């Protein structure tokens, strides 16, 4: 996004992110660092240049009733308020459903889902991205940060900023409340396969700490970015405060004219969905798991402890006949030891 841009620095690597259902996280006491509220992948169509992405990812904000939203600016906010009021009434009976055990909690979850669909139908009139926000009681102004692909090339810098600005405009973002842009490659270089995972990890850290990292190489923002009123660029870290950034986006525009985007909600939102009688139990399980994690992280640095990663040099099954039997047996399962 700098007028002095000259491309990017090469790097390489990978990343692993554990994705789990909410009920499984609750049962196992897994720490929830973020909630994946929406994902989408869209293609750009035919272009003469393979590495030059287009605007296909705009479809994440596609709505059949988009013009209606523009004509009646209060409609989305009113609908969201009505939904929240209805959910609040339903939530007063949550303890009664929970007293019925697992079937009751399942019934409560289904009722909540049906109520949400009644106010925000899944018929194309509301975009996938807007649904992801409104399901958690949020709107466009709650998207505090955007972790962008940002290749630092002449064509894509403008292309990607235009895309994100248009998405925010379609969602109804308020003027004067721009989302802060984080340029991923200014930190990690061009990591290729690991890019999206590194972006996601960075976004989660940003949501947790409330600190937006800067692009320290940014000295002179390209004047063409002035037209994108819903985006702002920074060369200094911004202290926003813990839990002040409620949601963020990551996007990646890759080779082959395929773009992907994900909406991530602050992990503490998960606690609000846990029934009161189960919340303390979950917190204790999570605390125990985190203590084990911290011990393991410190222990693996000691020479007498097992390393974080031990490279395998042979297969678990060396007998070819036994391996064939295992691969043909649908009931076969791996076991420890």
The reported pTM is 0.78
CATH topology of domain 22-62+127-284: Peroxisomal Thiolase; Chain A, domain 1 (3.40.47)
Residue-by-residue DSSP string for 218-268: -SSB-GGGGG-TTEEE-SS-EE--TTT--EEEEEEEETTTEEEEEEEEETT
**pLDDT by residue for the chain (337 residues), tens digit each?**
767 777 677 888 888 899 999 989 999 999 999 999 999 988 877 766 666 677 888 888 888 754 444 434 444 556 666 766 776 777 777 777 777 777 777 777 777 766 666 666 666 677 889 889 988 888 899 999 999 877 777 777 888 899 999 999 999 999 999 999 998 888 888 887 788 899 999 999 999 999 999 888 888 888 888 999 999 999 899 999 888 999 999 998 866 677 889 999 999 999 988 888 889 999 999 999 999 999 988 888 888 777 877 788 888 788 889 999 989 999 888 776 5
Where are the chain's structural domains?
A: 22-62+127-284
**Tokens standing for residue 259:** 């773009």
**Tokens standing for residue 209:** 């700490």
Q: Provide the terminal-to-terminal Cα distance of the chain, rounded to the nearest Å.
A: 52
> Mapping DSSP to helix (H, G, I), strand (E, B) and coil, where does residue 134 land?
helix
Q: Pick from 140, 15, 160, 165: which is nearest to 76 by CA?
A: 140
Q: Pick from 195, 184, 208, 183: which is nearest to 34 by CA?
A: 208
Q: Pick from 73, 36, 53: which is nearest to 171 by CA?
A: 73
């Amino acid at each position: 996004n700098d007028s002095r841009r000259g491309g990017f620095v090469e790097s390489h690597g990978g990343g692993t992110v554990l994705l789990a259902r909410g009920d499984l996280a609750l049962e196992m006491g897994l720490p929830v660092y973020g909630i994946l509220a929406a994902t989408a992948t869209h293609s750009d169509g035919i272009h003469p240049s393979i590495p030059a992405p287009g605007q296909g990812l705009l479809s994440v904000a596609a709505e059949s009733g988009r013009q209606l939203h523009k004509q009646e600016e209060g409609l989305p906010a009113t609908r969201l308020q009505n939904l929240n009021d209805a959910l609040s009434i339903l939530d007063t009976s949550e303890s009664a459903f929970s007293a019925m055990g697992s079937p009751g909690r399942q019934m409560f979850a289904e009722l909540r889902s049906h109520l949400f669909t009644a106010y925000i139908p899944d018929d194309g009139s509301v975009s996938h991205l807007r649904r992801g926000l409104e399901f958690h009681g949020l709107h466009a102004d709650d998207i505090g940060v955007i972790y962008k692909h940002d290749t630092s090339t002449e064509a894509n810098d403008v292309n990607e900023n235009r895309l994100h600005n248009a998405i925010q405009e379609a969602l109804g973002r308020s003027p004067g409340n721009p989302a802060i842009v984080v340029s991923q490659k200014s930190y990690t270089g061009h990591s290729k396969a690991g890019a999206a995972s590194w972006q996601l990890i960075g976004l989660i850290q940003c949501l947790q700490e409330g600190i937006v990292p800067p692009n320290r190489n940014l000295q002179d923002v390209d004047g063409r970015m002035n037209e994108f009123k819903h985006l702002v660029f920074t060369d200094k870290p911004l202290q926003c405060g813990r839990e002040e950034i409620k949601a963020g986006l990551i996007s990646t525009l890759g080779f082959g004219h395929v773009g992907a985007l994900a909406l991530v909600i602050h992990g503490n939102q998960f606690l609000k969905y846990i029934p009161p009688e189960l919340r303390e139990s979950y917190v204790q399980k999570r605390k125990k798991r985190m203590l084990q994690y911290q011990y393991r992280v410190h222990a693996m640095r000691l020479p007498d402890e097992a390393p974080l990663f031990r490279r395998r040099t042979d297969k678990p099954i060396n007998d070819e006949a036994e391996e064939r039997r295992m691969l043909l047996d649908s009931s076969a399962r791996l076991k420890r030891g």
